[in-house]
Structure 1
Amino acid sequence: MAKPSSKPKKSTISSSTDSTSPDNLAQEEDTATATITVTAVEVPELTEQEQSDRLHLERRVERAFFEAGKALTELRDRRLYRSTHKTFEDYCRERFGFSRRQPYHLIEAAVIFDNLVEKCERNVHILPTNEWQIRPLSKLDPDIQPEAWEQAVESANGKVPSHRIVKDVVQRIMERTKVPNTYQIGEVCQILTKDNPELRGKGGCWGIVARVNDFSCAVKTWDGVYTVGLQHLKSYNYLPAECEQMQVICDRLGRVYSSGLEESVQKFLEMLGKLNRAYLTDLEEKLLAVLEFEIKTK
């Protein structure tokens, strides 16, 4: 009897070794030849009116911190906070959530912004967009601030420079024009405006040096603390005892000022804040004592 053949059928071998079915082959062919169609969307150009609107809105954004600084200046100078708060700092903290120094930074930045707009070259259209960018400029004299800003814009390749870039430029200028600071804490000085808009209204005021910086001093006056460049200070050369006496007078004036009394009282304090002598007359002492008594019983 013949033995059955042990040779497998070719069809069996073919079906067991070929894992790609006709359906899979068709799918691979479809995948290899698939194309993606992208529809181009045409973006219309801005009309002249839209370009004008965009520029106007951009300017509003850029000037937001400037407008805030100008508004805060008027609120402070006219003491429009006096009906609800004793001090400007308390008012800004409770009304706007500002830290103690923040409103003064904005006020200072508004003055610098005005200066840049007025004195920068006509072909420089790049202006600051926030207070932090130009804070380093406060260390420079107003006449030098435009030069520093223009250098910073150039370093930023014609764009709005960062705080770091402006700070670096200011540092280079300060090193170039460095003047030694010989003032001492507690020294009594007179403030000289010299056409500095930042010191408007402070010309002739005396103050106590509270902090000595490389190129400026923090000076305490009857209505606050101001950072003043060395070129805007003049020492009275008082004796140590006289300086201590003026420190006491400054503290007394400050307490009366922060109490929020009438505008006429503010004028009296302003007059005392411009004395060029290290003492009060008998009449001035009596008037100040009356005001101190008033705020104690208020």
Structure 2
Amino acid sequence: MNTPPRKRKKSTSAPFSNPKSLNSDIAPSENPASAIIDVSAVEVPELTEQEQSDRLHLERKVERAFFEAGKALAELRDRRLYRSTHRTFEEYCRDRFGHSRRQSYLLIDAAVVFDNLAEKCDPLDHILPNNERQVRPLTKLEPQQQQEVWQKAIEEAGGKVPSARIVTDVVQRIMERTQVPNSYQVGEVCQILAKDNPDLRGKGGCWCIVTHVGEFSCVVRLWDGECTVGVQHLKSFNYLPDECQQVREMCDRISRVYSSELEESVQRFLESLGKLKRAYLTALEGKVLSLIEKDTELMMEINCKKTRQP
């Protein structure tokens, strides 16, 4: 009698079904989670004396980049090296460097401040500004104040190059301490004192007429528009009422004819009238201004006729 083949019993458990038993067979040093990997330290070679010198030289070039740019822009402006391609320095900077008018002059003013600070700071410490924003708050101060503020800002920064925020805070505290009440009156004629203030660039020495009196500043009218000026940047001419009226009439006349489309020589003449230190025009100045007024009126009439034509 043939014996039926025995059925193989099916295993009910899969290999390694018990992870604890698996882990128990692995020595602690073989456990991936607790394995210790020995990594040999990579030795970084020390800088040679020449490399240290090169590093310091390059770092200083980076830090002085804004200073070099400001010095270069000042020379381009002062020597009028843009005149072969552009009518004004502002147009040249916009086309050549993509600068706004304000940006170029901020760099120029920052370079002046940097020079002043370099005279005061110990060259061995080398704690000088490394970007234009750190210098910007100092441009409104006198040279001696700039040096004092910078030294104070270094102290507050723990002996390091201070941030623009720290410099601004120190400047603000000084300005609040030195501000004086506003004693000017509406209609008074004053002279603008720029004092290295970039916001007043080109307006230094100009006469202006006070149109609004604030706590520490005035809104003033010049021959080419209005602006707000701090009392520290104003000096009264102490004109009599009749003289103030003459300046207001002169301002009205210049404002009506001044335009950026005028010939450069005419522009310069009108701008020179905006810096007179007297309340009247000479006979020759009056005749030239009258000729410009007549020419402007004639051009306006011609333009009106052209627009009316079909």
Q: Rate the CA distance shift 1:253–1:280 in 2: closer, same or farther, 3 A.
A: farther
* Partner residue in 1 for 2:147: 146
Q: Provide structure 1 residue ranges, at least 5 long, that are not aligned to the other structure.
A: 1-11
Alpha-carbon separation, structure 1, partners of 2:261 and 2:188: 22
- Tell me the secondary structure at the aligned position of residue 278 of structure 1: coil
Q: Distance in 2 between matches of 1:275 and 1:38?
A: 80
Distance 1:142 1:277 in 2: 30
Deviation at 1:112, TM superposition (A): 1.4
Point out the more displaced range, 202-211 or 276-285. Answer: 202-211
- Work out the number of aligned pairs and report it: 278
Contact kept in structure 2, 1:87 and 1:259, CA below 8 Å: no
Alignment of 1:185-204 (within 5 A): 188-190=189-191
Residue 50 of structure 1 aligns to which amino acid in structure 2? E
The answer on whether the counterparts of 1:187 and 1:243 sit within 8 Å (CA) in structure 2 is no
Q: What's the RMSD between the two structures over aligned residues?
A: 4.5
Deviation at 1:121?
A: 5.5
Q: Would you say the 8 A contact 1:191–1:204 is kept in 2?
A: yes
1:176 corresponding residue in structure 2: 177
The unaligned stretches of length 5 or more in structure 2 are 1-10, 300-310
| C-alpha separation in 2, matches of 1:216 and 1:70 | 32
CA–CA distance in structure 1, aligned partners of residues 113 and 292 of structure 2: 36
Question: What code does the residue aligned with 2:163 have?
Answer: S
Q: Distance in 1 between matches of 2:222 and 2:76?
A: 19
1:282 deviates by 2.4
Distance 1:132 1:149 in 2: 13
Q: Offset at 1:192?
A: 5.9
3-state SS, counterpart of residue 172 of structure 1:
helix
Aligned to 2:245: 241
Could you tell me how far apart the structure 2 residues matched to 1:271 and 1:98 are?
27
Distance in structure 2 (CA, Å) of the matches to 1:189 and 1:171? 25
TM-fit CA distance, 1:220: 8.3
Q: Are the structure 2 counterparts of residues 16 and 279 from structure 1 closer, same or farther at C-alpha, using a change threshold of 3 Å? A: closer
Deviation at 1:39, TM superposition (A): 2.0
Report which stretch shifted further, 253-262 or 161-170. 253-262
Identity of aligned residues (%): 58
Equivalences for residues 98-137 of structure 1 within 5 A: 98-120=99-121, 125-137=126-138
Q: Greater relative contact order: 1 or 2 (C-alpha under 8 angstroms, separation 6 or more)?
A: 1
Q: 1:27 to 1:232 in 2, by over 3 A?
A: same
Counterpart residue identity of residue 247, structure 2: C
Q: Structure 2 vs 1, CA of residues 19 and 202 (structure 1 numbering), >3 Å: closer, same or farther?
A: closer
